[in-house]
Amino acid sequence: MKKLFLLAFLMLGMISVQSYAQDESEELTEEEMVKYAEMEAKVQAFIKDKQTTMEEMIKTNETLGGGARYNELKGAWGDDEKLTEIEATDEEKEAFAEIQEYIDAIGDEVKEYMTGLIMDAETLGAATYNKVRRAMSADPAVKDKISNLVAELQSQDEDGEAEGENI
Protein backbone atom coordinates (compact mmCIF):
# COMPACT_ATOMS: atom_id res chain seq x y z
CA MET A 1 0.00 0.00 0.00
CA LYS A 2 2.83 2.40 0.85
CA LYS A 3 4.52 1.62 -2.48
CA LEU A 4 1.31 2.33 -4.39
CA PHE A 5 0.84 5.61 -2.53
CA LEU A 6 4.47 6.57 -3.19
CA LEU A 7 4.18 5.64 -6.88
CA ALA A 8 0.95 7.66 -7.21
CA PHE A 9 2.57 10.61 -5.47
CA LEU A 10 5.61 10.49 -7.77
CA MET A 11 3.41 10.20 -10.87
CA LEU A 12 1.39 13.23 -9.78
CA GLY A 13 4.61 15.15 -9.21
CA MET A 14 5.90 14.27 -12.68
CA ILE A 15 2.60 15.26 -14.30
CA SER A 16 2.55 18.63 -12.52
CA VAL A 17 6.19 19.28 -13.46
CA GLN A 18 5.43 18.43 -17.08
CA SER A 19 2.37 20.68 -17.17
CA TYR A 20 4.42 23.47 -15.55
CA ALA A 21 7.13 23.00 -18.16
CA GLN A 22 4.50 23.15 -20.90
CA ASP A 23 3.15 26.39 -19.47
CA GLU A 24 6.68 27.81 -19.35
CA SER A 25 7.43 26.84 -22.93
CA GLU A 26 4.05 27.97 -24.28
CA GLU A 27 4.65 29.82 -27.51
CA LEU A 28 4.57 33.58 -27.29
CA THR A 29 2.32 35.03 -29.97
CA GLU A 30 2.91 38.10 -32.10
CA GLU A 31 -0.28 39.61 -30.65
CA GLU A 32 1.04 39.22 -27.10
CA MET A 33 4.33 40.87 -28.03
CA VAL A 34 2.50 43.75 -29.72
CA LYS A 35 0.23 44.25 -26.69
CA TYR A 36 3.26 44.31 -24.42
CA ALA A 37 5.08 46.75 -26.71
CA GLU A 38 2.01 48.99 -26.81
CA MET A 39 1.90 49.01 -23.01
CA GLU A 40 5.62 49.88 -22.85
CA ALA A 41 5.18 52.66 -25.43
CA LYS A 42 2.26 54.13 -23.44
CA VAL A 43 4.32 54.09 -20.24
CA GLN A 44 7.27 55.76 -21.97
CA ALA A 45 4.97 58.41 -23.46
CA PHE A 46 3.51 58.99 -19.97
CA ILE A 47 7.02 59.43 -18.55
CA LYS A 48 7.96 61.78 -21.39
CA ASP A 49 4.86 63.88 -20.71
CA LYS A 50 5.72 64.10 -17.00
CA GLN A 51 9.31 65.03 -17.83
CA THR A 52 8.15 67.76 -20.20
CA THR A 53 5.88 69.15 -17.49
CA MET A 54 8.78 69.10 -15.02
CA GLU A 55 11.07 70.91 -17.47
CA GLU A 56 8.40 73.56 -18.06
CA MET A 57 7.94 73.99 -14.31
CA ILE A 58 11.67 74.68 -13.99
CA LYS A 59 11.97 76.93 -17.04
CA THR A 60 8.93 79.05 -16.29
CA ASN A 61 9.30 79.35 -12.52
CA GLU A 62 9.64 83.10 -11.96
CA THR A 63 11.14 82.67 -8.50
CA LEU A 64 13.98 80.47 -9.76
CA GLY A 65 14.47 82.26 -13.04
CA GLY A 66 15.17 79.11 -15.02
CA GLY A 67 17.24 75.97 -15.13
CA ALA A 68 20.60 77.42 -14.13
CA ARG A 69 19.39 78.53 -10.70
CA TYR A 70 17.43 75.30 -10.27
CA ASN A 71 20.61 73.29 -10.90
CA GLU A 72 22.55 75.51 -8.50
CA LEU A 73 19.95 74.88 -5.78
CA LYS A 74 19.89 71.19 -6.60
CA GLY A 75 23.65 70.99 -6.08
CA ALA A 76 23.38 72.65 -2.69
CA TRP A 77 20.15 71.04 -1.54
CA GLY A 78 20.41 69.41 1.85
CA ASP A 79 23.50 71.38 2.84
CA ASP A 80 22.61 74.57 4.71
CA GLU A 81 26.13 75.98 4.36
CA LYS A 82 26.04 75.63 0.58
CA LEU A 83 22.55 77.10 0.41
CA THR A 84 23.78 80.09 2.42
CA GLU A 85 26.86 80.32 0.21
CA ILE A 86 24.74 80.56 -2.97
CA GLU A 87 22.41 83.00 -1.19
CA ALA A 88 19.30 80.88 -1.64
CA THR A 89 16.21 82.79 -0.55
CA ASP A 90 13.28 81.24 1.31
CA GLU A 91 11.15 81.78 -1.79
CA GLU A 92 13.67 79.91 -3.96
CA LYS A 93 13.83 77.06 -1.46
CA GLU A 94 10.05 76.83 -1.45
CA ALA A 95 9.86 76.87 -5.26
CA PHE A 96 12.59 74.22 -5.48
CA ALA A 97 10.82 72.06 -2.89
CA GLU A 98 7.55 72.23 -4.87
CA ILE A 99 9.31 71.08 -8.03
CA GLN A 100 11.04 68.30 -6.09
CA GLU A 101 7.67 67.14 -4.72
CA TYR A 102 6.40 66.87 -8.28
CA ILE A 103 9.51 64.95 -9.35
CA ASP A 104 9.27 62.61 -6.35
CA ALA A 105 5.62 61.87 -7.15
CA ILE A 106 6.39 60.94 -10.77
CA GLY A 107 7.74 57.52 -9.80
CA ASP A 108 4.57 56.59 -7.95
CA GLU A 109 2.38 57.93 -10.76
CA VAL A 110 4.29 55.92 -13.36
CA LYS A 111 4.04 52.78 -11.24
CA GLU A 112 0.30 53.28 -10.77
CA TYR A 113 -0.25 53.99 -14.48
CA MET A 114 1.78 50.96 -15.55
CA THR A 115 0.04 48.69 -13.05
CA GLY A 116 -3.31 49.85 -14.39
CA LEU A 117 -2.30 48.98 -17.95
CA ILE A 118 -0.94 45.60 -16.90
CA MET A 119 -4.02 44.68 -14.89
CA ASP A 120 -6.43 45.77 -17.65
CA ALA A 121 -7.16 42.56 -19.56
CA GLU A 122 -8.05 44.47 -22.72
CA THR A 123 -4.80 46.43 -22.71
CA LEU A 124 -2.48 43.60 -21.64
CA GLY A 125 -3.45 41.53 -18.61
CA ALA A 126 -1.22 40.24 -15.84
CA ALA A 127 -0.90 36.74 -17.32
CA THR A 128 0.30 38.10 -20.67
CA TYR A 129 2.65 40.53 -18.93
CA ASN A 130 4.23 37.69 -16.94
CA LYS A 131 4.42 35.43 -19.98
CA VAL A 132 6.18 38.09 -22.05
CA ARG A 133 8.56 38.99 -19.20
CA ARG A 134 9.54 35.31 -18.84
CA ALA A 135 10.08 35.01 -22.59
CA MET A 136 12.19 38.19 -22.62
CA SER A 137 14.34 36.84 -19.79
CA ALA A 138 14.76 33.49 -21.48
CA ASP A 139 15.40 34.69 -25.03
CA PRO A 140 17.32 37.88 -25.93
CA ALA A 141 15.79 37.75 -29.42
CA VAL A 142 12.33 38.25 -27.90
CA LYS A 143 13.61 41.20 -25.89
CA ASP A 144 15.14 42.72 -29.03
CA LYS A 145 11.94 42.19 -31.01
CA ILE A 146 9.86 43.90 -28.34
CA SER A 147 12.35 46.77 -28.09
CA ASN A 148 12.06 47.22 -31.85
CA LEU A 149 8.26 47.16 -31.65
CA VAL A 150 8.30 49.81 -28.90
CA ALA A 151 10.64 52.00 -30.97
CA GLU A 152 8.39 51.57 -34.01
CA LEU A 153 5.30 52.55 -32.01
CA GLN A 154 7.07 55.60 -30.59
CA SER A 155 8.15 56.62 -34.07
CA GLN A 156 4.57 56.31 -35.31
CA ASP A 157 3.35 58.43 -32.39
CA GLU A 158 5.97 61.11 -33.09
CA ASP A 159 5.10 61.11 -36.79
CA GLY A 160 1.40 61.45 -35.91
CA GLU A 161 2.10 64.32 -33.53
CA ALA A 162 4.28 66.07 -36.12
CA GLU A 163 1.56 65.71 -38.76
CA GLY A 164 -1.05 66.98 -36.32
CA GLU A 165 1.03 70.05 -35.57
CA ASN A 166 1.21 70.96 -39.24
CA ILE A 167 -2.57 70.95 -39.73
Range of the domain at 93: 29-162
Domain presence at residue 10? no
Domain presence at residue 23? no
Domain total of the chain: 1
Domain presence at residue 155? yes
Domain presence at residue 131? yes
Show Cβ contacts of residue 159 under 8 Å, excluding neighbours closer than 6 positions: none
Q: Which pLDDT tens digit goes with each residue over 129-161? A: 999 999 999 999 999 999 999 999 998 877 665
Domain presence at residue 9? no
Domain presence at residue 121? yes
Residue-level pLDDT at 167:
40
Q: Which pLDDT tens digit goes with each residue over 82-97? A: 999 999 999 999 999 9
pTM assigned to the model: 0.71
